Amino acid sequence: MTESTTAKAAPKSRATKAKAAPAAAPAFPDFEAFAMPKMEVPAAFREATEKGIESAREAYAKVKNAAEDATDLMEDTFETSRQGVVEFNHKAVDAAKTNADATFNFIKDIMSVKTLAEAIELQSTFARQQFDALSAQTKEMQELATKLGTDVSAPVKEAMEKSFKDLKVNGSG
């Protein structure tokens, strides 16, 4: 009886090895203790798991959308800032050029005066013109800085208002 049992067992293990060789063989194919029992998962557990997975997918989609929106907001804000700073710098360079040209013209004119009275009058005129020019330039730069601040903060303000509105809708619903 031992021989027949051994004879029957040998072909089985050869067949198992031959069949399992092409596919990845489990670590302990011949040990029933390591085999997973086949059991039915309760429907309630399956439903709860499916709901959990669906909730996780929805949460991931919301987080992904929020991250994309935040990235877009940052890109827009940085681009607006960059453009505003470039425009502000152009205005500052233009003002400096205007002031330098006026100063050089004044120096040229002052070198050609014949009397002290003429020099004093030229100096007074130059000072008044420069004061007016600097006042206008300062006002222009202030307006540009205010516009830049508003342009940069507007998208952030809109995003915050939208977020709070969404929170109120989702919180009360």
> Which residue range forms the structural domain that includes residue 120?
41-172
Question: For residue 34, what pLDDT is reported?
Answer: 66
Decide if 156 contacts 81 (C-beta within 8 A). Answer: no
Q: Sign of the C-alpha dihedral, residues 53, 54, 56, 61?
A: positive
| 3-state SS assignment for residue 29 | coil
Domain contains 145: yes
The pTM for the full model equals 0.57
Q: Assess if residue 65 is contained within a domain.
A: yes
Instruction: Count CA within 13 A, CB hemisphere, residue 51.
Output: 6
- Mean pLDDT, range 29-37, rounded to an integer: 65
Query: Nearest-CA neighbor of 62 among 170, 154, 168?
Result: 170
Mean pLDDT of 43-59: 88
Domain count, the chain: 1
Whether 11 is covered by a domain: the verdict is no
pLDDT value of residue 6: 45
Establish if 159 belongs to a structural domain: yes
pLDDT at 2: 46
